[in-house]
Chains A and B, each alone.
Chain A
Amino acid sequence: MSEGATPPPVTPHRPELSRRSALLGLAAIGGVGTAGIGGLAYAGGRFPADRLTPARFADRFEQVYGKHAGFRRNHAKGVSASGYFTANGAGAAVSRATVFVPGRTPVTGRFSLSGGLPDAPDAAPTVRGLGLLFPLPDGEQWRTAMINLPVFLDRTPQGFYARMLAAQPLPGTGKPDPEKMAAFLAEHPETAKAMAVVKRHPPTSGFDDSTYNALNAFRCTNEAGDTVPVRWALKPAGPVRPADTNAPPPGRDHLFDALIAKVAQNPLRWRLLLTVGRPGDPTDDATAPWPGDRRTIDAGTLTIDSVQTEAAGNARDVNFDPLILPDGIAASDDPLLSARSAVYSQSFTRRAGEPKTSSPVDVAKAQQTQKGQ
């Protein structure tokens, strides 16, 4: 090698190229390349193969419920809704979020049943969900996804992931394998405890008279800068009826049909209740209820005055990610929150890229049948 053409560079001693140093150099380069690729593969969760990643979470939903292109991996069956939230100003005591300033915020919502089947037959014990999106001034948003259980069944994402397999109905009986479930509960006493709490709160008659709980704790900060732990819930403003378990076997969509009929008659209303935790109340365990005497703030009224078949541009295309929060509300140390955000994103990414088929919950069809009756 000569440095011929270009002028001077005063070259101090340059070590001779030797085979040994060349080989050492090549080995060093190989090491850098391998470490880079291996390091990134490790960071990206490629190995070990049993690491719980959001993709493997979404795979498990598909494994348990089958793959239904274009639909959510969980809470697949649902209907879009809209209305508004009227704040009375009381929420400002704990949070400076603009949603609590007296006035109206439009709302996009979605009523759903848990599980990955978009056409599952409605059943009273199936967990009911309500997702809400509040668009706020200056591009801020508040999104929340709530369910009608009084506590969540899992404390950790790992628990949820394992329970999905343990609770998977067997092909023959349609019931979970009792041995698998018993083994799971032995390992997860918090789930057994939560199930006992759920038993004491049987489901109501329908979507319209259900209480929807956010279950995860959040941290609310007010204008003065004081931060407190908060769990919120929507309590129906109207009368609550227990589910009728003696009724004749109803139609596949009877819960959704009833919701569609109710909204056509009258707007539905819920009160938004903020329950304020005290020091020592668990914020990292959604299976543990807070003591019943905690301060509760009635922050205003949610009104749902219309439901729509899932379609482009409505709640179908929304990811009700529980960590899309306005200033004044922040995540707590609950490990479910980050996991939910990650898995919802994975589910949203998959369904956003898939071809769409029409939703089994068809509002126009239901209304037509109801008119005919």
Chain B
Amino acid sequence: MSGTEKFGVLARVLHWGMAVMVVAMLFIGAAMVASPTAYDALQDVHRPLGMLILVFTVVRFVNRLRHRPPTLPPAMGRWERVAAKGSEYLLYALMFTLPLIGWGMLSAAGYPIVLYGPLRLPGLLPSDPALYAMLRQAHTVLAYLLFAAFLTHACAVLFHTLVLRDRLLGRMGFRMTFRRG
């Protein structure tokens, strides 16, 4: 594969780094609201890791706008391209809004928003329990939508890679050449 067929190095590093972070966040979020024992410890990881995702999402989106991604495999049909683009933007939108909602809902609940030790975020919204309840609900719905979007994305790429064998995955890979047989 030639270099132009791949995403840039920064894009690839951000992609895999954030993939791990986002999946970890989904599991941490689900586990903390289900575990009385681990709730506090997981919250302490959930908040800073979530805010880190927000920062990386902004960096990644700016990088994405500044660099054209490699073209999609030519065999992909029109609707398939639309779906691929659409799910890409959906993932960006969710990775951006989820941390903001998390931040906003803690402000609306009137809690101090501790990142690490004495490091705190300022309130984003005024204290308002009804607003908190709404945002809390939205955080759950969007988190599970993100999970669905992530799984669909992963399965689609695996389908291309394992069934169609068009090496879609290679575009995000780190090996410069792809030798087989």
How many angstroms between the C-alpha atoms of A33 and B41 in the bound complex?
28
Contact mask for chain A residues 267-279; partner B; CB cutoff 8 A; 1 contact, 0 none: 0000000000000
Surface stretch bound by A, among B9-17, B80-88, B120-128: B120-128
Contact across chains for B158 and A54 when beta carbons are under 8 A apart: no
Contact across chains for A28 and B39 when beta carbons are under 8 A apart: no
Contact across chains for A352 and B133 when beta carbons are under 8 A apart: yes
- Name the one of B75, B151, B158, B181 contacting A2, with C-beta atoms under 8 angstroms: B75
Write out the residue numbers on chain A whose beta carbons fall within 8 Å of the beta carbon of B163: 17, 21-22, 25-26, 29
How many angstroms between the C-alpha atoms of A32 and B75 in the bound complex?
25
| Residue of A6, A28, A323, A342 with most partner-chain B CB within 10 A | A342
Is residue A317 contacting chain B, with contact meaning CB distance below 8 A? yes
Contact across chains for B112 and A324 when beta carbons are under 8 A apart: yes
Write out the residue numbers on chain A whose beta carbons fall within 8 Å of the beta carbon of B120: 138-140
Contact across chains for B35 and A342 when beta carbons are under 8 A apart: yes
Select from chain A the residue with minimum beta-carbon distance to B154: A32
Q: A2-B75, A3-B73, A323-B40 are in contact. List 6 more A-B contacts (CB 8 A).
A: A21-B163, A45-B33, A157-B37, A317-B110, A338-B41, A353-B133
Write out the residue numbers on chain B whose beta carbons fall within 8 Å of the beta carbon of A5: 74
Sort chain B's interface into a size bin: 35 or more
- Residues in B78-132 with C-beta less than 8 Å from chain A: 109-112, 117-118, 120, 122-123, 127, 129-130, 132
Contact across chains for B36 and A53 when beta carbons are under 8 A apart: yes
Write out the residue numbers on chain A whose beta carbons fall within 8 Å of the beta carbon of B129: 317, 348, 351-353
The chain A residues found within 8 Å of chain B, CB to CB, are: 1-6, 9-10, 12-15, 17, 21-22, 24-26, 28-29, 32-33, 36-37, 39-40, 43-45, 51-55, 57, 138-141, 157, 313, 317-319, 321, 323-324, 327, 331, 335, 337-339, 341-343, 345-346, 348-349, 351-353
- Name the one of A17, A52, A327, A352 contacting B165, with C-beta atoms under 8 angstroms: A17
- Name the one of A3, A339, A348 contacting B37, with C-beta atoms under 8 angstroms: A339
How many angstroms between the C-alpha atoms of A6 and B133 in the bound complex?
52
How many angstroms between the C-alpha atoms of A52 and B36 in the bound complex?
8
Write out the residue numbers on chain B whose beta carbons fall within 8 Å of the beta carbon of A43: 27, 30-31, 34
Contact across chains for B35 and A324 when beta carbons are under 8 A apart: no
Contact across chains for A12 and B39 when beta carbons are under 8 A apart: no
Is residue B155 contacting chain A, with contact meaning CB distance below 8 A? yes
Contact across chains for B159 and A25 when beta carbons are under 8 A apart: yes
Task: Give B149 Cβ to nearest chain A Cβ, in Å.
Answer: 12
Contact mask for chain B residues 166-181; partner A; CB cutoff 8 A; 1 contact, 0 none: 1000000000001111
Write out the residue numbers on chain B whose beta carbons fall within 8 Å of the beta carbon of A138: 120
Task: Give B87 Cβ to nearest chain A Cβ, in Å.
Answer: 15
Write out the residue numbers on chain A whose beta carbons fall within 8 Å of the beta carbon of B71: 6
Contact across chains for B136 and A349 when beta carbons are under 8 A apart: yes
Task: Identify the 6 closest CB pairs spanning chains A and B, nearest first.
Answer: A45-B34, A353-B133, A25-B162, A339-B36, A342-B39, A44-B30
Is residue B164 contacting chain A, with contact meaning CB distance below 8 A? yes
Given contact pairs A17-B164, A318-B110, A335-B37, A139 touches B180 in the complex (Cβ within 8 A): no
Select from chain A the residue with minimum beta-carbon distance to B111: A324
Is residue B145 contacting chain A, with contact meaning CB distance below 8 A? no
Task: Give A332 Cβ to nearest chain B Cβ, in Å.
Answer: 11
- Name the one of B137, B155, B181 contacting A353, with C-beta atoms under 8 angstroms: B137
Contact across chains for B179 and A341 when beta carbons are under 8 A apart: no
| Residue of B36, B123, B137 with most partner-chain A CB within 10 A | B36
Given contact pairs A5-B74, A9-B2, A318-B110, A349 touches B133 in the complex (Cβ within 8 A): yes
Contact mask for chain B residues 35-51; partner A; CB cutoff 8 A; 1 contact, 0 none: 11111110100000000
Contact across chains for A28 and B158 when beta carbons are under 8 A apart: yes
How many angstroms between the C-alpha atoms of A289 and B96 in the bound complex?
49
How many angstroms between the C-alpha atoms of A351 and B134 in the bound complex?
12
Contact across chains for A12 and B178 when beta carbons are under 8 A apart: yes
How many angstroms between the C-alpha atoms of A53 and B32 in the bound complex?
9
Is residue B19 contacting chain A, with contact meaning CB distance below 8 A? no
- Name the one of B26, B134, B137 contacting A40, with C-beta atoms under 8 angstroms: B26
Task: Give A339 Cβ to nearest chain B Cβ, in Å.
Answer: 4
Contact across chains for B112 and A139 when beta carbons are under 8 A apart: yes
Give 7 A-B contacts (CB < 8 Å), ordered by A residue. A4-B74, A5-B74, A14-B180, A29-B159, A55-B33, A139-B120, A327-B117
Contact across chains for B166 and A338 when beta carbons are under 8 A apart: no
Task: Give B135 Cβ to nearest chain A Cβ, in Å.
Answer: 10
Contact across chains for A14 and B165 when beta carbons are under 8 A apart: yes
Contact across chains for B109 and A348 when beta carbons are under 8 A apart: yes
- Name the one of A26, A28, A57 contacting B36, with C-beta atoms under 8 angstroms: A57
Write out the residue numbers on chain A whose beta carbons fall within 8 Å of the beta carbon of B27: 39-40, 43
Given contact pairs A12-B179, A17-B165, A40-B147, A141 touches B112 in the complex (Cβ within 8 A): yes
How many angstroms between the C-alpha atoms of A40 and B112 in the bound complex?
29
Given contact pairs A4-B74, A6-B71, A341 touches B147 in the complex (Cβ within 8 A): no
